[in-house]
């Protein structure tokens, strides 16, 4: 059985530093065994990799890649909280994905699959989670996708 670090390496993912919040909040909070990760945007090297509305100027495939980037940033927040000890993640409990969607767009689940598929690829069966995929009229900084996560942590 491979470790989470090995899975990340096989996927070609080097976790970035946990992104700093863009307003007056913290990136993550642990309550009991649950780690709540604040909404993560599709940031890479401090820059948004995808802006605009899905179903408008942004394709489903591009938005799905943005959701994957958001998931990488959620994992980076967990890694920062756990001092790199991702093996302490017992499971991914829930993802909530928000899609900046053009009027009439209804394929939000296909976009958030980019995040869900990554969680399963990284955490195996422990990556299977409850989820919501919600369409919204706008997101901070005109991001195409925002993702929040809840992880269960082993003590």
Q: What is the pTM of this model?
A: 0.96
Angle made by CA atoms 45, 47, 48, in degrees to the nearest 5? 125
**Listed range (10-24, 70-84, 94-108, 122-136) with the worst mean pLDDT:** 10-24
Q: Do 11 and 120 touch, CB atoms closer than 8 A?
A: no
Answer yes or no: are the C-beta atoms of 52 and 144 closer than 8 Å: yes
> With the C-alpha atoms ordered 72, 131, 35, 40, is the resulting torsion angle positive or negative?
positive
pLDDT at 115 over 90: yes
Where does 65-129 show beta strands of DSSP type E?
89-100
Is 28 in a helix, a strand, or coil?
strand
Asked whether the predicted pLDDT for residue 155 surpasses 90, the reply is no
Average pLDDT over residues 114-126: 98
1: pLDDT strictly greater than 70: no
Evaluate whether 148 touches 96 at the Cβ level (below 8 Å). yes
Measured distance CA(137)–CA(121) in Å, rounded: 30
Residue 22 has pLDDT above 90, yes or no: no
**Distance of alpha carbon 32 from alpha carbon 7, whole angstroms:** 27
* β-sheet bridge partners, residue 150: 36, 94
Domains (range + CATH), the chain = 4-17+31-153 (3.30.1330.40)
């Amino acid at each position: 059985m491979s470790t989470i670090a090995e899975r990340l390496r096989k996927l070609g993912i080097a976790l970035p530093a946990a992104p700093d919040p863009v307003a007056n909040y913290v990136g993550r909070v642990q309550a009991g065994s649950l780690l709540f990760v604040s909404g993560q945007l599709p940031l890479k090297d401090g820059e948004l990799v995808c802006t605009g509305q899905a179903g408008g100027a942004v394709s489903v495939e591009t938005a799905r890649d943005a959701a994957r980037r958001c998931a990488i940033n959620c994992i980076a927040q967990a890694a920062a909280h756990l001092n790199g000890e991702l093996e302490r993640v017992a499971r991914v409990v829930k993802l909530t994905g928000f899609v900046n969607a053009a009027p009439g767009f209804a394929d939000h689940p296909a976009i958030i699959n980019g995040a869900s598929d990554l969680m399963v690829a990284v955490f195996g069966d422990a990556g299977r989670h409850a989820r919501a995929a919600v369409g919204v009229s706008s997101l901070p900084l005109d991001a195409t996708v925002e993702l929040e996560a809840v992880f269960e942590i082993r003590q």
